[in-house]
Structure 1
Amino acid sequence: MLKRTVHFLGLVKNGKYKHYSTKLSYVHNIGEKPLRYITIGNLLEEAACKFSERKAIISRHQNKSLTFAEILVQADKLAAGLTKIGLQRKDRVGLWAPNLIEWYITKLACARAGLIMVGLSPANEPSEIEYCVNKVGITTMVCGNKFRSQDYYESLLVIAPELKKCDPGKLKSARVPALRTVITMSEDQKRGTYNFQEIINLADNNDISYIHNLQNKISPDEACNLQFTSGTTGKPKAVVCSHFSIVNNGYLYGKRNELSQEHTICSLVPFFHIFGIVAAIMAPLSHGSTIVLPTDGYDPNKSLAAIKEERCTIVVGTPTMYVDLVHLQEERKLKISLEIASIGGALCTSDLMKKMLRVLNLKTILSVYGLSEASGALFQGLKTDTNNKILSTVGCVSEHVEAKVIDNNGNLVPCGTAGELCVRTYSNMLGYWEDEETTKNVMGQDGWLKTGDQFILNEDGYGQIVGRFKEMIIRGGENIYPKEIEEFLNTHPDILETHVIGSSHARLGEEICACIRIKPGSNVTSETIVSFCKGQLAYFKIPSKIKIMDEFPRTTSGKVQKFKLKEMIINSV
């Protein structure tokens, strides 16, 4: 790892120059080995050869499992079937389903066929799907059957009622004009759609040979994935990721976790999220690890059972998921064999990490910091990290990543000083889909990507998140970062989770509102919370509004949607 010391000259009073030396917030981890110039399709072939009979995926709720060799066969059949019904290279294929083996196969089949997969939240409502389809021109939708209260076919009929009257592959809809084909994972035949297994069965030997021959014609630099941003602050944007960026990010994520064929990973995160794609699909493909799906969505009871019964050594989840998992394990005290918890997708408090280490009996926690615009992980913990590093940082800068922290004028700040994190790396997005202006706003011609995160870079290459620029609260001229208050409130023994937002105030501009979720049976009140804060937080950081809530509005990946939280608070006044 290389750290940069910048030398410069400053003019002093007597007209002479004095030499200064300042360590500025720039780091470049050049990596131990070169990046791999291959596609996802090439990687799948490698995995099928190297780890042939090892289980690639175990889906407990479907009572199914497939080896790496079987995955390649199924992906190629589906890829051939999709080509046979008319899909062409670079067509956009929407994947709208929960965590299923079929999702996993479809993702890899799209890569083998040179198609661009568009991951869609399984909880999306019809209006949200309409937005996504039209935003990127989805021509084919592969959707699940039912998920919780969601019936995917019925939801599609809301935006495309013409589906009930058309032949499969010949949809012409006024509201979603690009959409032509719908494929359902239902065992029943739905009017106007193809069945998932039907597409797989279409392929003959010639069709599959075509897919095999196609692999040498697909470039690692091509787009393979359209990743909608989380939608925590408004309308999601469509991030374009390449084969090269996703393959290498997955490989390097797995390398940091020291993944191997000996590991079984319990994935709590949804496949459609970039964290899921990298940690639950690409990393195991690179290193021969088995992925376990406890259920189609997130369920702490089924997750804990899967960890125990499948003897999982690694668990991957977001902070909210670990809050629930820790609470459940505190009650049940099951004998589990976890070694590592990989945590990412949102800010995590040190108090939660302490509980995870103790209650889940972990050897270590490996934090992951990243974003869709960088195809996944940018900072990640090391297995050799001390508890202090684990609890106070988001890990060390990843291999082949340059990182810097700048002030409002674009200048580097000294190490240990907060500013905006920028990264320049192989995994930076190709851009936002057909949105040059927004792309230019976050990524300059010099290749530096602005993350929008308030960040502190230490001299040793480890980083700390202060908060999001958009989430910063300005109260009477004081800049307040919600994360600091959230971390403190979460140390209260009766509080499970806290999210702090700014609420409009006539005189101060903004006041602090703390939304908290408490343990069942607790008698926490606003008065007890304020009392808990006094003498521990500066007076202007003590929340003037406290809302006790049963649940928070979340994305499917577990992130709290603070813009919706603000709307709820405003509407409750």
Structure 2
Amino acid sequence: MLTLRNFTQSRCCYLIPRIGANYLSHSTFADTSENKASYFHKISNRPIKYQNIGQILKEASIKYCNREALVSCSENSKITFSETLDKVDRLASGLLNLGLSRGDCVAIWASNYEFWYISSLAIARAGLICVSLNPAYQIPELDYCLKKVNVKVIIAAESFRKQKHYEMLSTLLPNLKHSKGGVIENKENSVRHVIIHSDKKLPGVISFNEILSSSSENDVIEVEKIQSKISPDSACNIQFSSGTTGQPKAAAISHLSMINNGYDLGIRQAMHQNYRRICLNNPFFHAYGLVIAMMNALNHGSTLVLPAPHFDPKQSLMAIKKEKCDVIYGTPTMFVDLVTAQRELNLDLPDVAIATTGGAICTPKLVQDIEKVLKAKKIVSIYGLSETTAGVFMSLPNDDNKNVQTFVGHVMDHLETKVVDSEGNAVRFGEPGELYVRGYSTMLRYWDDQLKTKEIMGDDKLKTGDQFILYENGYGKIVGRLKEMIIRGGENLYPREIEDFLNSHPDIIETHVIGIPDERLGEEVAAFIRVKDNSTHVTQNDIKEFCSGKLAHFKVPRFVIIVDEFPRTVSGKHLHS
């Protein structure tokens, strides 16, 4: 068994500049003067992979050559691992031919399509940084994100549900429709090119298929040559994670973090021992879809099956049956909907080896339903956050299914965890406190935000903001949230962002947003509002109309309650119940 010190020196010396010298000292993080202090380090004899995503893709294309990498049911398309590499390299060279330089940011604004999968891998193979954007973003949210990280190129679908992405981009980029040669004259932000996946000829944009077919064989060869120059320690992905300050923060994640977190998550599900076909219900633009699913499948040669561009339980069930999926990924809310749909359709589903859930604890009833209705043998729980790449805790292979009713899993390999009190001192095992995490998977930084980076990553540890209980055997559970986060159907929402927006309403003085229990979604958004004039009547429909086109639909409060005043502490802060 390797100790922390000799493991770090023999296998992870490359991490020292980033993580700092304190990582080499067990006591600086653990500080366990008592044997029962809640600190757990999951040491592994499996070395960390020091590779970039492009290198992992190349290995997969050779090892799993003709195996299906991706099946997109809505597009009626299937691509093998070798075909994936070919498309990825052609797109990567096309992006570089636009004049992009290593480290430039390319945003993907779309839901689950084959082109999302290809684009994210191409961005990595080109040494660029993928910026994952929620397709439900409205123009103000999109504008902020593009400016925050200086996005140079946007790859988007023409539309998302009722949203017309091309028209929204035309509003945000006034010269888009008048640009020539796909080059946008734009003084508002750093965007220079828009690539749209569409069969239509849209003015000002570059067709996705056009850029895919524009590369020569020599261009593709050049992409392979640069792989050795792309550092595994460099940023490859930016995940936007909202915060209590109201504005989204951009968590920069490295190649090394994504590869190894995905690899270890697959090991926990025995993906390395069995060929699996995964029904992916989660979106690619979340860490769940990108790391837990895509990086896992890439490492272990699993097939990802996309039932539909966005979650549709009936489409998912039909995809599971048709494509013989033996693994299902989703949030508890998604599994509730899958169970409900299966009771209605009563399809002859294949036996499901694994049902993997994250985002919230499963109720005992949901566990029974997943076992009986969806015929899942194994139920796996994951806990993590964008700032830790994806997983921090996950069920062990031999865990009983009932464990997911209480625990979020066991500490992942190579990670250190500690639970502390309000003064930063480790509490005893079994006592609640804030969870700290340290290891390869913590983010590099918040992009262009040194202050927030320092706040969350002081002394080389990452403060999760979650109230947590850690047990001596390495299992953990969430007991509350120190940060005012609402988890609605797997979406992390932060009250301050919604409050700041609602307070811009001409009739509203102040707002207090909370999460309230909901059987299906876990939590729903409720807004307590104080208006300027007591005679003013503000309804939920008024708020919905005010938010339309400015706030993503899942952030719009379902409940609106008018109050005369808010109870406050002597310091003037809202008094939380």
What TM-score, normalized to structure 1?
0.80
Residue 299, structure 1, aligned to residue 312, structure 2: yes
Give 1:511 shift: 12
Give 1:346 shift: 3.8
Secondary structure at the residue paired with 2:130?
A: strand
Residue 136, structure 1, aligned to residue 142, structure 2: no
Alignment-mate amino acid for residue 247 of structure 2: K
Name the CA distance, whole Å, in 2 between partners of 1:243 and 1:350.
37
Aligned equivalent of 1:259: 271
Aligned equivalent of 2:505: none
Alpha-carbon spacing, 1:560–1:339, altered in 2? closer, same or farther (3 Å)? farther
Aligned equivalent of 1:477: none
Name the CA distance, whole Å, in 2 between partners of 1:6 and 1:95.
42
Alignment-mate amino acid for residue 227 of structure 1: Q
- Structure 2 residue aligned with 1:569, among 544, 560, 569? 560
Q: What does residue range 245-284 of structure 1 map to in structure 2 within 5 Å?
A: 245-260=257-272, 262-284=275-297
Aligned equivalent of 1:204: 216
Aligned equivalent of 2:442: 428
Residue 344, structure 1, aligned to residue 358, structure 2: yes
Aligned equivalent of 2:574: none
- Structure 1 residue aligned with 2:427, among 408, 413, 424? 413
Aligned equivalent of 1:374: 388
Aligned equivalent of 2:453: 439
Residue 127, structure 1, aligned to residue 112, structure 2: no
Secondary structure at the residue paired with 1:161?
A: coil
Residue 396, structure 1, aligned to residue 410, structure 2: yes
Aligned equivalent of 1:99: 112
String of CA shifts for 1:193-241, please: whole Å, max 9, x gaps: 1101111111111111111111111110111111111579843210000
Give 1:279 shift: 2.1
Give 1:174 shift: 3.9
Q: What does residue range 31-430 of structure 1 map to in structure 2 within 5 Å?
A: 31-175=44-188, 177-229=189-241, 234-260=246-272, 262-336=275-349, 337-430=351-444
Give 1:423 shift: 0.3
Alignment-mate amino acid for residue 288 of structure 2: F
Q: Is the 2:336–2:520 contact (alpha carbons within 8 Å) kept by the matching residues of 1?
A: no
Q: Is the 2:244–2:483 contact (alpha carbons within 8 Å) kept by the matching residues of 1?
A: no
Q: Is the 1:32–1:399 contact (alpha carbons within 8 Å) kept by the matching residues of 2?
A: no
Give 1:512 shift: 9.2
Alpha-carbon spacing, 1:6–1:180, altered in 2? closer, same or farther (3 Å)? closer
Structure 1 unaligned residues grouped into runs of 5+: 9-20, 473-481, 487-498, 505-509, 520-546
Q: Is the 2:32–2:39 contact (alpha carbons within 8 Å) kept by the matching residues of 1?
A: no
Task: Decide which moves more: 119-128 or 351-360.
Answer: 351-360
Name the CA distance, whole Å, in 2 between partners of 1:564 and 1:354.
32
Name the CA distance, whole Å, in 2 between partners of 1:428 and 1:362.
32
Give 1:421 shift: 0.3
Secondary structure at the residue paired with 2:271?
A: coil
Same amino acid, percent of matched pairs: 44
String of CA shifts for 1:334-366, please: whole Å, max 9, x gaps: 222212111113444444333323322211111
Give 1:87 shift: 1.5
Name the CA distance, whole Å, in 2 between partners of 1:410 and 1:56.
45
Name the CA distance, whole Å, in 2 between partners of 1:165 and 1:437.
40
Alignment-mate amino acid for residue 428 of structure 2: P
Give 1:305 shift: 1.0
Give 1:156 shift: 0.3
Structure 2 unaligned residues grouped into runs of 5+: 5-25, 500-511, 522-539, 565-577
Aligned equivalent of 2:8: none
Secondary structure at the residue paired with 1:147?
A: coil
Secondary structure at the residue paired with 1:339?
A: strand
Give 1:420 shift: 0.3
Name the CA distance, whole Å, in 2 between partners of 1:564 and 1:164.
31
Alpha-carbon spacing, 1:518–1:254, altered in 2? closer, same or farther (3 Å)? closer
Alpha-carbon spacing, 1:122–1:512, altered in 2? closer, same or farther (3 Å)? closer
Name the CA distance, whole Å, in 2 between partners of 1:156 and 1:92.
17
Q: Is the 1:275–1:345 contact (alpha carbons within 8 Å) kept by the matching residues of 2?
A: no
Name the CA distance, whole Å, in 2 between partners of 1:311 and 1:285.
19
Give 1:169 shift: 3.7
Name the CA distance, whole Å, in 2 between partners of 1:6 and 1:280.
35
Give 1:51 shift: 0.1
Name the CA distance, whole Å, in 2 between partners of 1:82 and 1:179.
13
String of CA shifts for 1:410-469, please: whole Å, max 9, x gaps: 00001000100000010110000010000000001x311000000000110000011211
Alignment-mate amino acid for residue 30 of structure 1: I
Aligned residues between the structures: 494
Secondary structure at the residue paired with 1:453?
A: strand
Name the CA distance, whole Å, in 2 between partners of 1:207 and 1:571.
61
Q: Is the 1:53–1:67 contact (alpha carbons within 8 Å) kept by the matching residues of 2?
A: yes
Name the CA distance, whole Å, in 2 between partners of 1:233 and 1:344.
25
Secondary structure at the residue paired with 1:470?
A: coil
String of CA shifts for 1:492-543, please: whole Å, max 9, x gaps: xxxxxxx9x99x9xxxxx9998454589xxxxxxxxxxxxxxxxxxxxxxxx
Task: Decide which moves more: 204-213 or 411-420.
Answer: 204-213
Alpha-carbon spacing, 1:209–1:73, altered in 2? closer, same or farther (3 Å)? same
Name the CA distance, whole Å, in 1 between partners of 2:484 and 2:339.
27
